[in-house]
Structure 1
Amino acid sequence: MGAVRKLKKPYVHSRHLVDLEVVEAETTVHNPDGTSYTVEPGDVLSVNELGEKNLVPKNHLLHYFEVGKLEETSFYDEMAKGYVEMAKINSGISNESEYVESEADFSTAKFVTGKNHL
């Protein structure tokens, strides 16, 4: 479609990744669900992953944020890093709770045996 110009990077709006297109000539937009409407030059359309095009009011454009290119790392690599970080945190918590539990056992034994002066 030569009547619209796609902006360079994808944008995100309210958890949805969309492409924004600026209309360059008056045209009719046809959506996959059968709806259609006319747009004028200068109008901005958001296009979702299903190919649905929606007119974006000019005052709503500030709610769209440009998304930078993602790093060339695998999703699984990022998950593995997260699990390693969480393991370190959990290990620290576990060590602290073991220490507190042993102190509680020691204090209980002192009071039960009556040897408070150990």
Structure 2
Amino acid sequence: MGAVKKLKKPYVHSRHLVDLEVIEETSTIHNPDGSSFTVEPGDVLSVNEFGEKNLVPKNHLLHYFEVGKLEDTSFYEEMAKGYEEMAKINSGISKESEYLESESEFTIAKFVTGKNHL
């Protein structure tokens, strides 16, 4: 494959995250599905997460938007953080429930013993 220059940041197009590469010399591009095509210097390719490369017409480049740096956190780290946040919420709900339950038992005991002076 000929020399290509990968642009530094990822880009997004139609809800797909891609890398853009600028071709520096004439070459043939081969895709994982067996298809191939020839590119010329200055052509721009979009490369998706499956390694599939597509030629991007110059008038379509304005539809690609640069994406800022993506966080290096994994899915599992995000899930763990979510579970920690839910644990705090559930703990607060549990404490409120215990308080309300003890108040209701106290009120019922006052009614049963006749010590309710309303």
**Structures share a fold, TM > 0.5?**
yes
Task: Output aligned runs, 1:1-118, within 5 Å.
Answer: 1-11=1-11, 14=15, 16-56=16-56, 57-62=60-65, 64-68=66-70, 70=72, 80-110=80-110, 116-117=116-117
Query: How big is the shift at 1:59?
Result: 2.5
Describe the shift of the 1:40–1:116 C-alpha distance in structure 2 as closer, same or farther (beyond 3 A).
farther
Rounded to whole Å, the distance in 1 between the matches of 2:106 and 2:42 is 76
Query: How big is the shift at 1:2?
Result: 3.0
TM-score, normalising length: structure 2: 0.61
Query: How big is the shift at 1:22?
Result: 1.7
The sequence identity of aligned pairs, in percent, is: 74
What runs of 5+ residues in structure 1 fail to find an aligned partner? none
What runs of 5+ residues in structure 2 fail to find an aligned partner? none
Describe the shift of the 1:38–1:66 C-alpha distance in structure 2 as closer, same or farther (beyond 3 A).
farther
Rounded to whole Å, the distance in 2 between the matches of 1:11 and 1:112 is 71
RMSD over aligned Cα, in angstroms?
3.6
Rounded to whole Å, the distance in 2 between the matches of 1:111 and 1:99 is 19
Aligned AA (1:52): E
Local SS of the residue matching 1:18 = strand
Deviation per CA, 1:42-95: give whole Å up to 9, x if none.
443221232111234213212x4143463xx77766655544343222211210
TM-score, normalising length: structure 1: 0.61
Query: How many residues of Structure 1 are paired with residues of Structure 2 in the alignment?
Result: 114
Is the Cα–Cα contact under 8 Å of residues 6 and 19 in structure 1 kept in the other structure? yes
